[in-house]
Amino acid sequence: MDLTLKPVTESDFERLVELRLEVMRESLEQISRFDPVRARERFRASFDPAQLRLIEVDGDWVGCVSLKDQGDHLEIEHFYIETRAQGKGIGSKVLTSLLDESGSRTVRLGVLKQSRAAEFYIRHGFMKTHEGEFDEYFERLAPEIFSSSLLEIA
């Protein structure tokens, strides 16, 4: 599998918002929050082509992701893989690449409550830190912080 992350341009907005609607529909419906107009507006408000990357596998576009620098940590947002491409290890490969890129930085993210994505992140070393009305928040500590925490426990 040849996986590449490519820059996003403003012209990618429509296909990325459609991807967001496709991927998040089931989870949003489970919590009675599916509203295509609101989803489009929320995506537009946070759409920053400089921060987003297209995910391509063997030259075929299958999703997007962003890794934003928030000063004291990095934050993963808009991590969407087309339904047809899910369950093939693509998400794990992308996440591993992002975690490698993060180096010694803590990485945080949020997922909708009742989303299967929570299990995915837990399998990759993220721990739930708290939750809000509609979202759960996760963190993967920087390697040296995690090691220090284990030493304190021992």
- Return the pLDDT at 143: 67
The label of the residue with tokens 């490969």 reads 93
Q: How many residues does the chain have?
A: 154
Q: Which runs of consecutive H residues, i.e. helices, occur in 31-116?
A: 36-46, 90-102
pLDDT in tens, 89-125: 999 999 999 999 999 899 999 999 888 899 999 999 9
φ and ψ of 132, to 5 deg: -110, -165
CATH assignment of 3-153, given 2.170.190.11, 3.40.630.30, 3.50.30.10, 3.40.30.10?
3.40.630.30
148: phi then psi, degrees, rounded to nearest 5: -65, -40
Cα 79 to its chain centre, rounded Å, is 3
- State which H helix or E strand residue 59 sits in: none
Judged against a pLDDT cut of 50, whether residue 147 lies above it is answered with no
What angle do the packed helices 13-30 and 36-46 form, to 10 degrees?
130
Domain ranges of the chain: 3-153
Banded model confidence at residue 28, pLDDT cuts 50, 70, 90: confident
Predicted TM-score of the model (pTM): 0.87
Helix, strand or coil, per DSSP, at residue 123: helix
